[in-house]
Amino acid sequence: MQLESDRVAWHSSKVSKQSRQLSNGHGSCVLWFTGLSGSGKSTLAAELELALHELNCKSYVLDGDNLRLGLNRGLGFSQADRSENIRRIGETARLFVDAGFITLAAAITPYQADRELLRTRFGQDEFIEVYVRCAIEECERRDPKGLYRKARSGEIRQFTGISAPYEAPRHPELEINSEKVTVAESVSILLNYLRSRGCLPAEGKAGG
Amino acid sequence: MQLESDRVAWHSSKVSKQSRQLSNGHGSCVLWFTGLSGSGKSTLAAELELALHELNCKSYVLDGDNLRLGLNRGLGFSQADRSENIRRIGETARLFVDAGFITLAAAITPYQADRELLRTRFGQDEFIEVYVRCAIEECERRDPKGLYRKARSGEIRQFTGISAPYEAPRHPELEINSEKVTVAESVSILLNYLRSRGCLPAEGKAGG
């Protein structure tokens, strides 16, 4: 069997990432939200997306749950399937970063190896790991989708933190403790961080 | 084994597709370029992307070859793998349409069933099938990647038009004969079509 590379040629775009960023008036990158189920990743990503939209910045959330209903349909929760799930979200995020978006990926991403591999797929300074930290006791108390209850009863298996591992990030660019910081404060922290990295206009509105 | 739907909840975005379209100053949709290898799909998509960018419209090419080096790495050229390849490009295109882009998918997409399935994944008027027609003799004469030669010699297998089928579209929204129409003329036809569908601003530039 031949390799794909034998019959697949790269087609270059005539519109560069830099040209898109110039047109948008801001940089592009991915913020990768990792953390336990119920830690607040999706909520935070959705609020940041809204805040960026109101600043006229192009932003888009790639939500792990949502993608499991589309692009990643059919994948389960074994380590191999989780890795493939994350790999595909990462490859999609690359496309969005190339398209000029501040891309917000929200997915548990429990394995350190997967996160390290992700990082290699992006340019320097393009991959920003955001650890949404929350004690599992608090996640279980919140249990927004009733999943911890199902995991405890054995109704669902391979559940992160209960019956599957979560390897906490060692050196994330940002760590947000969702037990101590409100969503609004977290959005503010993230906007300031993006600004400090030169990804957002210093002031005023982007676009053009 | 539980279904994914048992443990995956949909997270709604606070930024609607309509709001993105309003911000961009144009609609979003997918133009799906189907046709034989060498018919001119990627070339046409790249030129249209550039023309749209110069009109300040958000556009992005999802090129089948390029995606086989990333998102779809590992998939081969059997009918099942081709269908999965197309399904993933389609799901990615859905995200880009949701994000407000005039999305340009360029992939052989040889099977009618796959194209019909794709259409069901988009809203009314969002999926525009563009058949890039070119006689196989002409594609083989062009042979831009040397693949027809390799297919004839047996060096590569399952090659569309030689050792795998191409089911020509029955009712594409547009058909472009790349033997008779130049790339520049084709771009003009596509821009006019998008304008007639209300996807582009009537005149002047979009954005804001």
Taking only the tens place, the pLDDT of each residue in A12-63 is 999 999 999 999 999 999 999 999 999 999 999 999 999 999 999 999 999 9
Of A1, A49, A91, the CB nearest to B15: A49
Per-residue confidence at A1, pLDDT binned at 50, 70, 90? Answer: very low
Question: What is the rounded CA–CA span in Å between residue A39 and residue A179?
Answer: 9
Tokens 């530039």: give the residue: B205
* B38's tokens: 């060498």
Residue B24 vs residues A21, A158, B103: alpha-carbon distances, Å: 14, 42, 14
Chain B residue closest in CA terms to A88: B71
How far does B96 lie from chain A, in Å, by closest CA? 8
User: What CATH homologous superfamily does A24-196 map to?
Assistant: P-loop containing nucleotide triphosphate hydrolases (3.40.50.300)
Residues of chain B positioned with their CB less than 8 A from the CB of A7: 77, 145, 147, 150, 156, 159
Residues of chain B positioned with their CB less than 8 A from the CB of A11: 42, 46, 61, 63, 65-66, 106
Under 8 Å between Cβ of A104 and A48: yes
Question: What is the rounded CA–CA span in Å between residue A100 and residue B58?
Answer: 10
Residues sharing a CB contact under 8 Å with residue B160, sequence separation 6 or more, in sequence order: B36, B37, B108, B110, B166
- Amino acid A208 reads G
Interface A-B, measured as beta-carbon pairs within 8 A, has a size of 140
Q: What is the pLDDT of residue A6?
A: 73
Q: Does domain B17-196 have CATH number 3.40.50.300?
A: yes
Of A13, A59, A145, the CB nearest to B46: A13
How far does A147 lie from chain B, in Å, by closest CA? 7
Contact A4 B68 (CB under 8 A): yes
What is the 3-class SS of B66-106, one letter each residue? HHHCCCCCCCCCCHHHHHHHHHHHHHHHHHHHHCCCEEEEE
Chain A residue closest in CA terms to B104: A13
Phi/psi for A139 (5° steps) reads -60, -40
- Amino acid B193 reads Y
Question: What is the rounded CA–CA span in Å between residue B124 and residue B116?
Answer: 13
At B31, is the secondary structure helix, strand, or coil? Answer: strand
Residues sharing a CB contact under 8 Å with residue A180, sequence separation 6 or more, in sequence order: none
Tens of pLDDT, residue by residue over A70-111, are 999 999 999 999 999 999 999 999 999 999 999 999 999 999
Of A11, A46, A77, the CB nearest to B65: A11
- Terminal Cα-to-Cα distance of chain A (whole angstroms): 49
Of chain B, the percentage scoring pLDDT greater than 70 comes to: 94
Residues of chain B positioned with their CB less than 8 A from the CB of A77: 7
Chain B residue closest in CA terms to A6: B156
Contact B10 A65 (CB under 8 A): yes
Tens of pLDDT, residue by residue over B23-81, are 999 999 999 999 999 999 999 999 999 999 999 999 999 999 999 999 999 999 999 99
Instruction: List A164's β-bridge partners, or say none.
Output: A160
At A133, is the secondary structure helix, strand, or coil? Answer: strand
Question: What is the rounded CA–CA span in Å between residue A88 and residue A77?
Answer: 14
Domain boundaries, chain B: 17-196
Classify the phi-psi angles of B128: left when phi > 0, otherwise alpha if psi is within -120 to 50, otherwise beta: beta
Q: What is the pLDDT of residue A187?
A: 98
Residues of chain B positioned with their CB less than 8 A from the CB of A12: 46
